[in-house]
Structure 1
Amino acid sequence: MQKAYKVVFFILFLSVTLTSCVSKKDITYFQNDQIDQNKVSNSYKTIFKPDDLLQITVSALDFESVKTFNLPAVNFATTTNRAIGTPQQQTYLIDNNGYIDFPVIGKLKIGGLTRDEVIKMLKEKLDPDYVKNPTINIRIANYSVTVLGDVRRPGTYTIPNERITILEAIGLAGDLNITGKRNTIKVFREINGKKLQFDIDIRSNDIFTSPVYYLQQNDLVYVDQNKASSQDAAFNRNTGLMVSVGSIVISLITLITRF
């Protein structure tokens, strides 16, 4: 009968062990492959997209000539119709067709263009008719990326410098949980109105040559749970039942041994 007890406890122990075991090779970063330096690129270009909120600043030696292109955004009191609060710089929202409405010049198609391309376009339209030798600065006021799934701090993160890698985004989210699936991290990106999915394996150094190593504004990073985590979750849901069954089995064995 002692043998029966040992069998029961061995089964329970084996169930817990198998559901919580995670191989080291499944969780270690950058363990595979050598970095191919010929494929690594440190260049990154921001491409403007619909729903980007832009701050465009025009500067020149003639301060009066640029006032029209640096309009302040103010709030007005409904009762007195007077400006209240501190004026903020005007922002320009790129519409679904890629256009903004810029002072004096009118509608400009900038969706799909890089920062350098938009700056060149504005300079050509302003100089010399409106502003001589203008200096133009453009930044995205609502640049952000989202990290969801099996990470410590899922959420949407604002990126002030408009440049972030997928590793830095994961770092902002507190890194993957031990149960996070590292070989198929998903990056969802919109390009020319189409939603695209990229799969990333951060166990491999190939991540440094991936087209989504540098994230773009509004990218979504999703980390799924690994198989061991799913099994563990299933085990935890049935823990009470397993304990009850085990207790019944032990009780039955005890009763049998008494007769």
Structure 2
Amino acid sequence: MNYFFVLKKSIPFFFLAVLFSCASKKDMIYYQDVDALGTQEKSNSYEIKIQPDDLLMILVSAEDPEIAIPFNITTNVTGAANPDGMGIQSSQLYLVDDQGCIEFPVLGKLKVSGLTRSEFLNSIQNKIANYIKNPIVNLRIMNFKVSIQGEVTTPGTYPISSERITLIEALSRAGDLTVYGKRNNILIIREIDGIKSYNRVDITKAGFMNSPFYYLAQNDVVYVEPNQNKINVAAVNPSTGLIFSVVSILITLTTLIITTSK
């Protein structure tokens, strides 16, 4: 048997075996301890808070439409589009300034930053009730989006048409994690009132569904770190071909020397 030939053919596979170890079950499977949680009486709830730079659509209506007109800015409908791709009245959009306020018809400047949707609605309805009987106020955040980076199939920034999305839903929109993504150390960057927080989530453990980061907030950034295998690929790939070529040449020269010396 030509042992040098066998050795020559085996070396590339040896290098690959060293570089890539098999991922264990605990590194890949989601919600591994979900059965231990049992039945939850109430699911974890989360209500986002209004922040500076949010774009709010606020519509006021009443039994008599004429009475509500002063509380709605009346300009022409434009071709602007919301995340659903539907036309909206740009006249009804209010940009929250860096002080967390908006200028609202009749009521003037309103502090809205830090309020949840329900808190804002209760507040503005009580104010408008001084002018209109049983007012109805509709509120929607029009620029709700999250950004997903790292080891997912399709990273990018995703507009959210509703006002609540879970981390799992967001990852699913991005095509889920690749085999190289670390499932036990997902980073969520969140900014509230100008202060950023950096939070780690382990989606292999079902308990994360009860964490404050199961539901994402507007403008959250989700980053999936690469696992060690991906890091090895990035570090070795540029020189792998060269290493294999050098080793192959050395084996060939050794074979020729031994052959000619016989």
Tell me if TM exceeds 0.5: yes
Name the residue aligned to 2:148: 147
Name the residue aligned to 1:23: 23
Deviates more, 1:22-31 or 1:32-41: 32-41
The two structures have a TM-score, normalised by structure 2, of: 0.87
Name the residue aligned to 1:41: 43
Superposed displacement of residue 251, structure 1: 1.9
* 1:43 maps to amino acid: S
Change (3 A) 1:238 1:32: farther
* 1:194 maps to amino acid: I
Name the residue aligned to 2:165: 164
Superposed displacement of residue 192, structure 1: 2.7
Distance 2:138 2:118 in 1: 10
Name the residue aligned to 1:79: none
Superposed displacement of residue 38, structure 1: 5.5
Distance 1:42 1:187 in 2: 18
The two structures have a TM-score, normalised by structure 1, of: 0.88
1:181 maps to 2:179: no
Mind listing any 5+ residue stretches in structure 1 that lack a counterpart?
A: 77-84
Which one has the bigger strand percentage? 1
Contact 2:165–2:216 (Cα < 8 Å) also in 1: yes
What do the CA deviations read for 1:91-122 (whole angstroms, capped 9, x no partner)? Answer: 01111111011011111001001111111111
% identical aligned pairs: 44
User: What is the Cα-based RMSD across aligned positions, in Å?
Assistant: 2.3
Change (3 A) 1:95 1:107: same
Mind listing any 5+ residue stretches in structure 2 that lack a counterpart?
A: 79-86
Name the residue aligned to 1:210: 211
Deviates more, 1:41-50 or 1:162-171: 41-50
Contact 1:59–1:66 (Cα < 8 Å) also in 2: yes
What do the CA deviations read for 1:37-86 (whole angstroms, capped 9, x no partner)? Answer: 5696332212101111000011101211111222244489xxxxxxxx99
Distance 1:197 1:207 in 2: 15
Contact 2:187–2:222 (Cα < 8 Å) also in 1: yes
Change (3 A) 1:39 1:75: closer
Pairs within 5 Å for 1:98-109: 98-109=100-111
Contact 2:151–2:225 (Cα < 8 Å) also in 1: yes
Q: Provide runs of 4+ in structure 1 moved above 6 Å.
A: none
2:37 is paired with a residue whose SS is coil
Pairs within 5 Å for 1:1-259: 2-25=2-25, 26-32=27-33, 34-35=36-37, 37=39, 41-74=43-76, 88-128=90-130, 130-257=131-258, 258-259=260-261
Change (3 A) 1:143 1:122: same
Deviates more, 1:42-51 or 1:217-226: 42-51
Contact 1:40–1:209 (Cα < 8 Å) also in 2: no
| Number of equivalenced pairs | 250
